Amino acid sequence: MIAAGDNNRAMNLTEDLRQAKKNLRMRLQATFDPRGFWPGRLSSSALSTAVALLALARINRDEHRIGIESGMHWLSGHANSDGGWGDTPESPSNLSTTLLAWSVLSSLAQKEADSVISRAVSWLSARMGNLEPASIQNALLRIYGKDRTFSVPILTVCALTGRFGAEPGAWTWVPRLPFELSRMPRFLFRWLDLQVVSYALPALIAIGLVRHKSGPPAHHPQHLLRDLITPGALKLLTQIQPSTGGFLEAIPLTAFVVMSLAASNYREHPVCEKGVAFLQAAQRPDGSWAIDSNLATWLTTLTLNHALADIDLNAVLSPEQQARILSWLLVQQHTRTHPFTQAAPGGWAWTDLAGGVPDADDTAGAVLALHRLGSDNLSNLTSAQAGLRWLFDLQNRDGGMPTFCRGWGKLPFDRSCPDITAHALLAAETWRPHLPDSWQKPLNKFRQCGLGYLRDAQNKDGSWAPLWFGNQRAPGQQNLTYGTAQVLIALEKIHPRDSAQFQTMRARAMSWLFSAQQSEGSWGGHLTTAGSVEETSLALSALISAGNVRHPSVQRGFQWLLKTTRKGTVLSQAPVGLYFASLWYDEELYPLIFALGAIHRAARALA
């Protein structure tokens, strides 16, 4: 009788999975852009909205009155109940976003926002003791440490909005950024103390410039040198600005640049004009801004490689749709040295827009997607080879993969990371059978070094920590579930099963994932955090890939997933994405992509 009951439950679960798969496929097809990609939709951001408002106001408040009023209304209406702001409407309040929203609203808002501002003052005072400049500066420098990528821009906003008192004295609380170093040859950047990560060069120039122009007057040689360097720095800023006007397609970065140039009396500069046009185009009908234009390339390759992995694409996409995706994807490959990062040709960015820059995660995803769309296609092979060469050249000495630039520096977002390394290894191994003999030696070296890095990067408890994904409520805000799941999924496909090294890493990773499951069946980013659709789906995909589809914990996880999503008809997104400078975001396609991937794997394994 027990066996019969177990059999009935298994049959019911299989039927529920089949129905959920059908529902999720329909949702996926409905979000497909006929031009050949999945655009997705990023969450609105209080931080982006605040800094975009200030940028427009510094340019011309009267000219941008309608957009500013709409944005202030959204910002005032999206404060949390405790008086602060989080990075997304679903995020807990944090110091950085609350400081920015408070500063901007205090300088721009009318009387009706007084209660919102008053509650923000109470929230900030409870965490810093007071709102004196020294307290604000110390709090931010404690959060970000030696990395000035985000602390100095926030302090700049405080100075520009009068939170530090009158100028020029207000600028004594804003550390200088050595923008003059931007004129040094690029190959020297890795040895220079730029104090910002590789992607923040526009902020280094613009914020360094406004601090130089607006601070107390000085007559020492370094000050005179900066005067001489200014025209060249502005020329470089012009050269690296994309045609869309948005640096990295990022609203905060572009807004920081625009407000800084405007405050330096460069309102009419072409960089400002293009930046303002970008900000105006990016504002949403409700008055808010997201953190970036889109993640179209990342979402499209993630759909092919995860949501639709190991299935016949013809069952989901028509030949015409597949042809459009392939054509679109091939066009996204960068074929010239990138003017911003000096990245070599061959890589892909996260977006199809001009502000994107090539990175390792998206290049690996694109290379894998080309294989899904036709490994016997000569143009696919040629593009994949260029992408793999790009990845090989990016590999760090420790064997791991950074995001943008090899060996740029030691700041957190420039280091090697496990999930991107595993993704790159998977891309290389997937194409191995189709590559000529001359490729086998570099492939072996790439894999050996990468696996050595993953072995060394695995935590003692068996987990791996990712770089661009996190969990706001987990210790250290690390999303160990995401990192461990992504590495394990890749390892199952790239490592020989008879390897003792593989078996050890695999066993420890599975042990950690099983231990991190919540009592109701879900997974969060850590043992101590509540579950989400994204994290549960990824954990299930990893455990199924490792052959655990019939494990009771996996069955319990699917029961939670099916119940929470109502068999794929209701999806809620969690802010698991970690953007530039530790900004949180959620993306409406993440739960759909990850849930469909897990359910596809389960259905295939059970069959």
Region 594-601 average pLDDT:
95
φ and ψ at residue 525, rounded to 5 degrees: -80, -10
Residue pLDDT, tens place only, 206-215: 998 999 888 7
Average per-residue pLDDT for the chain:
91
Residue 148's pLDDT band (cuts 50, 70, 90): confident
Residue 411's pLDDT band (cuts 50, 70, 90): low
pLDDT of residue 200: 78
Q: Do domains 9-42+294-606 and 44-290 have the same CATH topology?
A: yes
> Quick one: the chain helix, strand, coil %, rounded to 5?
60, 5, 35
Residue 14's pLDDT band (cuts 50, 70, 90): confident
CA angle 115, 116, 121 (to 5 degrees): 95
Phi-psi region of 379 (alpha: psi -120 to 50; beta: other; left: phi over 0): alpha
φ and ψ at residue 61, rounded to 5 degrees: -65, -40
> Distance between the two ends of the chain, CA-based, in angstroms?
24
Q: What is the 3-state secondary structure (H, E, C) of 567-595?
A: CCCCCCCCCCEEEHHHEEECECHHHHHHH
For residue 576, pLDDT beyond 50:
yes
pLDDT of residue 198: 60
Residue 300's pLDDT band (cuts 50, 70, 90): very high
Could you tell me whether strands 289-290 and 44-45 are parallel, antiparallel, or unpaired per DSSP bridges? antiparallel
265 Cβ contact list (under 8 Å, min separation 6): 213
Region 270-299 average pLDDT:
97
Residue 1's pLDDT band (cuts 50, 70, 90): very low
Residue pLDDT, tens place only, 209-262: 999 888 776 667 777 778 888 899 999 999 999 999 999 999 999 999 999 999
Residue 2's pLDDT band (cuts 50, 70, 90): very low
Q: Which of 119-123, 193-197, 269-273, 461-465 has the lowest mean pLDDT?
A: 193-197
Q: What percent of the chain has pLDDT over 70?
A: 92
Region 60-82 average pLDDT:
96
Q: Is the dihedral of CA 164, 166, 167, 168 positive or negative?
A: negative
For residue 192, pLDDT beyond 60:
no
Region 381-402 average pLDDT:
96
In this prediction the pTM is 0.93
3 - beta bridge partners?
A: none
Q: Which CATH class is domain 9-42+294-606?
A: mainly alpha
Q: Which of 107-111, 259-263, 312-316 has the lowest mean pLDDT?
A: 107-111
pLDDT of residue 498: 66
The domain made up of 44-290 is a member of CATH 3.40.50.720 = no
Q: Which residue has the higher pLDDT, 235 or 109?
A: 235
> At 42, is the secondary structure helix, strand, or coil?
strand
Q: What is the 3-state secondary structure (H, E, C) of 520-543?
A: CCCCCCCCCCCCCHHHHHHHHHHH
Residue pLDDT, tens place only, 500-559: 888 899 999 999 999 999 999 999 999 889 999 999 999 999 999 999 999 999 999 999
